Amino acid sequence: MDEATLMSQHVSCSISFNEWIKQRDEVYRRFLEDIEIGYADRDVIDFIKLVFTKKKIYTTSSCSGRITVIDASYPWLREESYVIYKKHEPITVDDIEQIIYSHIPKYRFWLVASGPILHFVVLDLQSASLLLKIVHGAGFKHSGIISLGGSGIVIEAVSGTWTSFLLKEGSELLVSDLARIVKVANEVLIEGKKRLEKLFKVIKETDI
């Protein structure tokens, strides 16, 4: 069964417009609070503001991409995984040296660079279909519907730009060229942000 058929069977005439607007306004209020206290990812603020000017979509959570150092057995684990360092901007060798030379991991230290992840709530089937075409065209190939319900259609847009490097296990450092690793991690981060910029331009020009 294709995506459009699945959506039409589950969503047609089931979304409450009043509930959708109420939820949208509350999400935007919390977003403005996050900006005020400095919690919001600075590189995605303009994008979020743009999305909230549109009639039939809004975003509940958005990340412009980030570089992290995590303590975990494997970089994809969520349970028993601890974020030691996080930055939404390019990093330096010194940033990472301060961590790996002064801390011993419980499991392993991984350097992880990942691109943007965006979550949209969409009012109707037609708008959801259009948004999926837009995000796919902007390079967010790993995107799709993750929830269908009375409060809207939830779409997750993932750029797919991602890489990881094993840095340290126990007291043993496992990298010989940290500068090169940092360079690649920054390249991955920047590529993801370029895709976000492309998505920004397309959404800005689209009536949705």
- pLDDT for residue 139: 95
Domains in the chain: ranges and CATH: 3-205 (3.30.1960.10)
Nearest CA among 4, 22, 20 for reference residue 150: 20
Rg of the chain, C-alpha, whole Å: 19
- pLDDT for residue 8: 52
Nearest CA among 208, 197, 85 for reference residue 140: 197
Residue 27 backbone phi and psi in degrees, to 5: -65, -40
Q: How far apart (Å, rounded) are the C-alpha atoms in residues 49 and 45?
A: 6
- pLDDT for residue 196: 97
Answering whether pTM is above 0.85, one says yes
Note down pLDDT in tens along the chain; length 208 residues: 345 555 554 545 467 888 889 999 999 999 999 999 988 899 999 999 999 999 999 999 889 999 999 999 999 999 999 999 999 999 999 999 999 999 999 999 999 999 999 999 999 999 999 999 999 999 999 999 999 887 899 999 999 899 999 999 999 999 999 999 999 999 999 999 999 999 999 999 999 9
Angle at alpha carbon of residue 191, lines to 199 and 186, rounded to 5°: 140
Q: How far apart (Å, rounded) are the C-alpha atoms in residues 150 and 137?
A: 28
